[in-house]
C-alpha cells in the first residue's frame, strides 16, 4: 500500500488528478471507477481545469460506485445529479459512456444484474474511492460478511447520520442504496483512496494497519497490489 500525505485537500486533489490524467493519456479506452461524496469534489475540480487546458475525456468510460435507492437521476441529492454537477456537464465524456446504478429501477435485483454486466464489459483501469467514517467503500458497509457483486444495502445508522448534512434532515436520507460489490474494486488495475479531515483518521488507520476485517471494509484494499491512499495531514494524523 502506498500512502501519500499532503498539506491540504487541494494539493492532494491535484496529485490525484495528475494520476487520473496519466491513465487517460496512456490507455486507449480508459475505464475510470468514480466516487461521490464531498471528498472527491476538489479532484473533479482539478480534472475540470485540466480539461479546460486540453485534457479530453472523449475516450473515457466512467462507472460509478453507487446510488441511493428511490432517488431518480434528477433528484438533487442523487449521485447521478452529483456527477453531472461536479464533472460530467463540464467535460467531453460522452453520455453513453457514463454509467451509474439506477436507484429508481422498478426491479432492483434486475438492476444489480444489469450493472454487473456493464462492469464485466468494462474492467476498471483506475478506481477512485472515498471512505466512510465507519470504513465503508462505495456503500459496502461494515458487516459480518461482505459482498462481491452489485447489491442493495441497508445503510448503517452512522452513514445515514453522516449523510444527513446533504439532505437537511436525517429523515430524508434514503435507508437503502445500490452499490458495486468488492470484486470490481479489487480487480481495478489501480486504486486511489482519498480521505481528508481528522474525522476520517480512525477509518484510515483501521484500513491500513492490522488485519483485513469485514468491520472495516476498506481494509480489504490491503490485498490489492496497487493501492494509494491520498490523505491530508488531518486524516493521516494517527498513522
Is position 29 annotated as part of the catalytic site? no
CA–CA distance from 235 to each of 1, 125, 140, 165, 210 (Å)? 16, 26, 20, 20, 17
Q: Could you tell me if 17 and 45 are in contact, meaning their C-beta atoms sit under 8 angstroms apart?
A: no
Verify binding: residue 130, ligand GLP, rule CB under 6 A. yes
Which of 78, 163, 206, 219 binds ligand GLP (CB under 6 A)? It is 163
Number of residues that bind ligand GLP (CB under 6 A): 14
Q: Can you name the residues that pair with 213 across neighbouring β-strands?
A: 216
Choose one: 5-13, 33-41, 104-112, 225-233; the region binding ligand GLP (CB under 6 A).
Answer: 33-41
Verify binding: residue 141, ligand GLP, rule CB under 6 A. no
For the record, the C-alpha cell of 134 comes out as: 465507519
CA–CA distance from 208 to each of 18, 139, 216, 224 (Å)? 23, 19, 10, 12
Verify binding: residue 139, ligand GLP, rule CB under 6 A. yes
CB neighbours of 70 closer than 8 A, spacing ≥ 6? 103, 104, 174, 176
Q: Which of 111, 136, 140, 232 is catalytic?
A: 136
For the record, the C-alpha cell of 167 comes out as: 439532505
Is position 111 annotated as part of the catalytic site? no
Q: Could you tell me if 65 and 101 are in contact, meaning their C-beta atoms sit under 8 angstroms apart?
A: no
Is position 107 annotated as part of the catalytic site? no
Q: Residue 44: enclosing H or E segment and its boundaries?
A: helix 41-52
Residues of this chain, 174-203, that bind ligand GLP according to CB under 6 A: none
Verify binding: residue 35, ligand GLP, rule CB under 6 A. yes
Q: Could you tell me if 81 and 64 are in contact, meaning their C-beta atoms sit under 8 angstroms apart?
A: no
Verify binding: residue 37, ligand GLP, rule CB under 6 A. yes
**What is the closest distance, in whole angstroms, from the C-beta atom of residue 137 to ligand GLP in the complex?**
7
**What is the closest distance, in whole angstroms, from the C-beta atom of residue 193 to ligand GLP in the complex?**
9
Q: Which of 51, 66, 116, 163 is catalytic?
A: 66
Verify binding: residue 36, ligand GLP, rule CB under 6 A. yes
**What is the closest distance, in whole angstroms, from the C-beta atom of residue 139 to ligand GLP in the complex?**
5
**What is the closest distance, in whole angstroms, from the C-beta atom of residue 159 to ligand GLP in the complex?**
6
CA 219 from chain centre, in angstroms, equals 15
Q: Which of 67, 111, 116, 141 is catalytic?
A: 141
> In angstroms, how far apart are the furthest CA atoms of the chain?
47
For the record, the C-alpha cell of 75 comes out as: 433528484
Verify binding: residue 66, ligand GLP, rule CB under 6 A. yes
Is position 149 annotated as part of the catalytic site? no
The 75-114 contact track toward ligand GLP, x by CB under 6 A, reads ----------------------------------------
Mind spelling out the 3-state secondary structure of 9-30? HHHHHHHHHHHHHHHHHHCCCC
Query: What is the binding site for ligand GLP (CB under 6 A)?
Result: 35-39, 65-66, 130-132, 138-139, 159, 163
Tell me which residues are annotated as active site: 66, 134, 136, 141
Amino acid at each position: 500500500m502506498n500512502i501519500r500525505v499532503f498539506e491540504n485537500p487541494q494539493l492532494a486533489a491535484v496529485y490525484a488528478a495528475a494520476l487520473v490524467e496519466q491513465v487517460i493519456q496512456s490507455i486507449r479506452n480508459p475505464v475510470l471507477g468514480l466516487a461521490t461524496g464531498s471528498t472527491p469534489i476538489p479532484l473533479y475540480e482539478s480534472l475540470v481545469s485540466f480539461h479546460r487546458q486540453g485534457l479530453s475525456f472523449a475516450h473515457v468510460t466512467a462507472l460509478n460506485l453507487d446510488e441511493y435507492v428511490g432517488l431518480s437521476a434528477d433528484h438533487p441529492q442523487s449521485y447521478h445529479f452529483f456527477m453531472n454537477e461536479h464533472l460530467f456537464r463540464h467535460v467531453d465524456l460522452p453520455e453513453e459512456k457514463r454509467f451509474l446504478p439506477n436507484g429508481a429501477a422498478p426491479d432492483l435485483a434486475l438492476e444489480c444484474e444489469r450493472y454487473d454486466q456493464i462492469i464485466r464489459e468494462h474492467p476498471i483501469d483506475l478506481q477512485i474511492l472515498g471512505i466512510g467514517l465507519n470504513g465503508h467503500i462505495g456503500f459496502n458497509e461494515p458487516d459480518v460478511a461482505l459482498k462481491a457483486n452489485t447489491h442493495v444495502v441497508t445503510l448503517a445508522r452512522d452513514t445515514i447520520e453522516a449523510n444527513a448534512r446533504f439532505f437537511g434532515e436525517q429523515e430524508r436520507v434514503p435507508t437503502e442504496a445500490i452499490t458495486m460489490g468488492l470484486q470490481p474494486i479489487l480487480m481495478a488495475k489501480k486504486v486511489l483512496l482519498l480521505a481528508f479531515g481528522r474525522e476520517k483518521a480512525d477509518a484510515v488507520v483501521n484500513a491500513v494497519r492490522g488485519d483485513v476485517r469485514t468491520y472495516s471494509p476498506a481494509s480489504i484494499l490491503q490485498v490489492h497490489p496497487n493501492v494509494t491512499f491520498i490523505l491530508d495531514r488531518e486524516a493521516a494524523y494517527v498513522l
